[in-house]
Amino acid sequence: MANAIIRRKKDSKEKGRNILESAENYLETIFILSRDGGKVRAIDIAGQLEFSKPSVSVALKNLKSQGFVASDKSGFITLTKSGLKIAKEIYERHIVISEWLVSLGVSEETAIKDACKMEHILSEKSFLAIKAFIEKSEKV
């Protein structure tokens, strides 16, 4: 799995690359950590995701080889333009889905956990439909 960060979608209706859930989680985590505190290190990611530092190092190496992250001489990790795009998309999905679930009466804790799973498996069409429904509901 470490070498399979990116795979092609088999559904020709959804063009582009499909990032594996684990890679999406790493990118989203780096985005959140950098937004909140600026500088991100591998140890910060390991702590946030509750993974071992060696596991994080392998994942970061693969994300770097795919062009999604970069690191400087001090070991600080940043998202590249393509990594940032994916991270923002996943983060938006997380926020929209978790808020939607809470609005349906799901506890915040459960909504956040479920959104973490759902954000990776929903098709773009389903996500956009949920988002449009929410926006329509807010205008009423």
Structure tokens, 110: 């459960």
pTM of the full structure: 0.80
Q: Which whole number is the average pLDDT over 65-74? A: 95
**Assigned fold of 17-139:** Arc Repressor Mutant, subunit A (1.10.10)
Provide the CA 135 distance to its chain's centre, in angstroms: 22
Placement of tokens 């999406």 in the chain? 24
- Provide the residue ranges of all domains of the chain, joining segments of one domain with +: 17-139
State pLDDT tens for residues 3-56: 334 433 333 334 444 568 889 999 999 999 998 768 999 999 999 999 999 999
Please report which helix (H) or strand (E) contains residue 78, including its range: strand 77-79
